Amino acid sequence: MSRRTLRTKALTGVVALAVVGIGQLLTSHLPDELTELRPFEAAGHIDESVDVRTGSVRVQTVNGGTSLRSPIAAMRTSNLWVVIAYTFTPSQTTTGLFSIEMVAANGMRWSGTASRNQNLCTSSVPGLPIQCQAAIEVPADYIIGAHLELAPTADLTQYDAVAVIDLEITPDVVADWKANPEVTLQGSTLGAS
């Protein structure tokens, strides 16, 4: 093999390796699937209005106890019932707010529509607020530092806007809730509170 042929082959190998390297570099800078699916999160606090895609949401009160009195039934638990009162005001179309989840600091999630939980939030016309309430059963041991995630559509928060509300749950708050024998869930009404 002549020296020239050898040099050409070596050059080809180097170019091929360089192309593969550049390809990997480009791929690593492209958004991966999980990044694409990530919702658009807007952080907020209790009694602060947060914009989501179809309107604005304001969490007003959060209360807890060892039993829940609702329009459907009285439900007791060895865990805790947490009742969240919030207002949703549609901005463009007639709609409600259909996804609410409590999320623990360790990533555990409790949905307002799973198991015996309830999210009572009717639909309203643009500009007219809805008084909503959700009751979520949670284990007392895991909820310190938990936050709330509210989104316009149920079970499909990918790509969508999500309000992330700090619930300010401390050990003292949990102790108070454990000592509270009952919380009440009243339902959803139209109009400002």
Question: Which residues contribute to the site for another protein (CB under 8 A)?
Answer: 67, 73-79, 104, 106-111, 114-117, 137-139, 141-142
Q: Which tokens go with 88?
A: 């949703």
Residue 46 or 75 with smaller CB distance to another protein? 75
Smallest gap from residue 135 Cβ to another protein (A): 13
Residue 27 or 78 with smaller CB distance to another protein? 78
Q: Which tokens go with 148?
A: 């709330």
Residue 52 or 134 with smaller CB distance to another protein? 134
Residue 140 or 164 with smaller CB distance to another protein? 140
H helix intervals, 30-170: 33-37
Smallest gap from residue 74 Cβ to another protein (A): 7
In one-letter notation, the amino acid at residue 184 is T
Cα separation, 43 vs 50, whole angstroms? 7
Which residues are within 8 A (CB) of 111 and not within 5 positions of it... i.e. 6 or more apart? Answer: 99, 100, 101, 117, 136
Smallest gap from residue 81 Cβ to another protein (A): 11
CB 143 within 8 A of CB 136: no
Smallest gap from residue 24 Cβ to another protein (A): 26
Residue 50 or 104 with smaller CB distance to another protein? 104
The DSSP line for 84-112 is: EEEEEEESSSSB---EEEEE-TTS-EEET
- Look at residue 115 and give its three-state secondary structure: coil
Smallest gap from residue 68 Cβ to another protein (A): 9
Residue 57: name the closest of 155, 138, 162, 183 by CA.
Answer: 162
